[in-house]
Amino acid sequence: MDVQSVTVPHPSGKPYSVGTNQPLLLLGGPCALESEEIARKVATTMQEICDRLDINYVFKASFDKANRTSLSSYRGPGMQEGLATLARLREELQVPVVSDIHEPYQAEAAGQVLDLLQIPAFLCRQTDLLAAAAATGKPVNVKKGQFVSPWDMQNVVGKLRGSGCKNVMLVERGASFGYNNLVVDMRSLPVMRSLGCPVIFDATHSVQLPGGAGGSSGGQREFITPLTKAAMAAGIDGLFMEIHPDPDSALCDGPNSIPLSDVEKLLTTLLRIREAAAE
């Protein structure tokens, strides 16, 4: 099933193309910006891995996670400091960057730094937020809400395109039925691709246990590999992965993050599956 290709800017001036018959896109990095040292280590290592594997890499980290379980949960450094860090990484490492925006007023400042704007799952229906993201002229990556059917994402796509955004990508991250769990329906991948948008599979949030640790979310890291293999076989255009050098010490979403040391082996396997599925 062909989709409308999306163009993602690159600091080098040579943008990525995402869609049918294009290299796999990987959005990967820590859940939230913790320190510039950790961010730089992940970005540098992942850039080297993706160069070897011919994967288009975008560094991901949130400057503010405004939807954490607890008021005391770590949210990140905030917009001003976070965007400054992402701008330095982008310039010095020549790597594209993506982060979440949660409120319309954040879009303009974020659009001046980020190559790709991301809309969190809980906010995917927020019209003013989508319109503000579209107004930046940057491509927009929208996570399907845990409460939204895949076919209803046509309304989200309609809002963005109607607001002038031609570069829209959609993300599958599981559906919630309560009780601290998420379920991934692989049918949602071709359904959302039928809307004409490249589809990204969120390999790590899909194994999250929302609120499963009481004051924070838990996760089942052991299911990242089987779910991602299944998604790759079903047909996707990219992956979203929360990657950390030491997930057990991460300040945000550690239980569902993949260790940096494990990523290359998994990606190598996934590319073989992708090649086989394309035959």
In the predicted structure, residue 13 carries a pLDDT above the cut 90 = yes
Task: Calculate the alpha carbon distances from 32 to 87, 91, 95, 103, 200 in Å.
Answer: 15, 20, 17, 17, 19
Q: Give the global pTM.
A: 0.95
pLDDT-based confidence at 2, cuts 50/70/90?
Answer: confident
The residue among 165 and 217 whose pLDDT is bigger is: 165
Residue 80, number of CB atoms within 10 A of its CB: 10
pLDDT-based confidence at 65, cuts 50/70/90?
Answer: confident
pLDDT-based confidence at 38, cuts 50/70/90?
Answer: very high
Per residue, the 3-state secondary structure of 23-47, as one string, reads CCEEEEECCECCCHHHHHHHHHHHH
pLDDT-based confidence at 1, cuts 50/70/90?
Answer: low
* Residue 217, pLDDT score: 61
Q: Write out pLDDT tens, residues 76-118.
A: 999 999 999 999 999 999 999 999 999 999 999 999 999 999 9
pLDDT-based confidence at 70, cuts 50/70/90?
Answer: confident
Q: Write out pLDDT tens, residues 116-157.
A: 999 999 999 999 999 999 999 999 999 999 999 999 999 999
* Region label for 66, one of left (φ > 0), alpha (ψ between -120 and 50) or beta (otherwise): alpha
pLDDT-based confidence at 211, cuts 50/70/90?
Answer: low
